Amino acid sequence: MLGKTPRFLRIRPWKCCVERQRGISGQVFALQTRLRPGKGRRRTLEIQEKSFIVTGATRGIGRGLAELLVRHGARVAFNGRNGKNLEATGAALRKSGGDILSIVGDVGSDKDAQRLVAATLREFGKIDVLINNAAILGKRSPLVETPPSVWEEVLRVNVIGTVNMIRHALPHMEKRGSGLIINLSSGWGREASGYVAAYCASKFAVEAITQAVSEEIGASGVILFALNPGVIATEMLQEAFGCDVSAYPTPEQIASQWLNLFAKVDRSWHGTSRDLDKL
Ligand SMILES: NC(=O)c1ccc[n+]([C@@H]2O[C@H](COP(=O)([O-])OP(=O)(O)OC[C@H]3O[C@@H](n4cnc5c(N)ncnc54)[C@H](OP(=O)(O)O)[C@@H]3O)[C@@H](O)[C@H]2O)c1
């Protein structure tokens, strides 16, 4: 099993046609698109028709990634707490075509995490890749001025949220004997800074969870690793730095780094910590 590369890199021409759109329980919106070989169309990686979950894709890195995946023919399920932003993301993704499933939900809620996994399995039949992206920064303040409520919320979303998603998706992947789980960490998950202690602690915890679970699942066929996406111009970065962040790359500008990741990922990455811009 060691060194075996998932078949993400099979290249095919494609075209797409919208098939149907429907809602489930008023909260789930799915748009099915069938992909067929098309003459003269651009070629794409075999992200195509893989089933992804990207948590927290209503803006920032998660949304940029979901857009990229849809453009390459993936089936993408995603969530976020803000229903309006979720619908706006869904509308934008539908324009690019693709199979999408969007569900309002909070990863820190065990029920919502379970619902996202169950709906993805119901709609797409499998989960090939889980990307635990959803996170919050919390209030930027010295530790002595940071109330327990901020600590509780940051740890609930960033740590328990990651755990909830893994707990619900992993058994399905283990049963199939394949799958990829990417836990979004941070440079602050490896070296902490002042004024964002809760966020740093949560990302150190994400690294720890990655190592622990990777040991538990061993050679199950599932690959799990922690990923620092780099310093990216998003609302979170703006909040973290408290100044203009327009000099940093946008989520759209790191698309080629994501494609590079999907082309390169293999079994040797299991349990490791990676940097998206240094693969
Ligand atoms: N930007 C950077 O420079 C940077 C650097 C290192 C690591 N990271 C990591 O990269 C990931 C994405 O960061 P970002 O900069 O794109 O952040 P962002 O712009 O703040 O976006 C975060 C996304 O997560 C969603 N979210 C937050 N809490 C959630 C919850 N409880 N349940 C479900 N969704 C939730 C948000 O949507 P709602 O508000 O609608 O819920 C939003 O879509 C995070 O894990 C972050 O720690 C970012």
User: What domains can be seen in the chain, in order of their start residue?
Assistant: 16-272 (3.40.50.720)
For 16, the token pair is 């797409």
Distance (angstroms) between ligand 1 centre and the Cα of 103 equals 16
Please choose from 81, 85, 112 the residue to mutate so as to test ligand 1's pocket, defined by most ligand atoms within 8 A of CB. 81
Where is average pLDDT lowest: 95-104, 129-138, 267-276? 95-104
Please choose from 81, 210, 236 the residue to mutate so as to test ligand 1's pocket, defined by most ligand atoms within 8 A of CB. 236
Structure confidence at residue 222 (pLDDT)? 97
Distance (angstroms) between ligand 1 centre and the Cα of 212 equals 23
Q: Which residues have CB under 6 Å of ligand 1?
A: 55-62, 79-82, 85, 106-108, 133-136, 157, 161, 184, 186, 228-229, 231-232, 234-237
Distance (angstroms) between ligand 1 centre and the Cα of 62 equals 7
pLDDT reading at 40 higher than 60: no
Binned at pLDDT 50, 70 and 90, residue 49 comes out as confident
Tens of pLDDT along 109-143? 999 999 999 999 999 999 999 999 999 999 999 99
What is the value of pTM for the model shown?
0.88
Tens of pLDDT along 255-268? 999 999 999 999 99
Tens of pLDDT along 175-213? 999 999 999 999 999 999 999 999 999 999 999 999 999
Q: How many CA atoms lie within 13 A of 70 on its CB side?
A: 30
Structure confidence at residue 95 (pLDDT)? 86
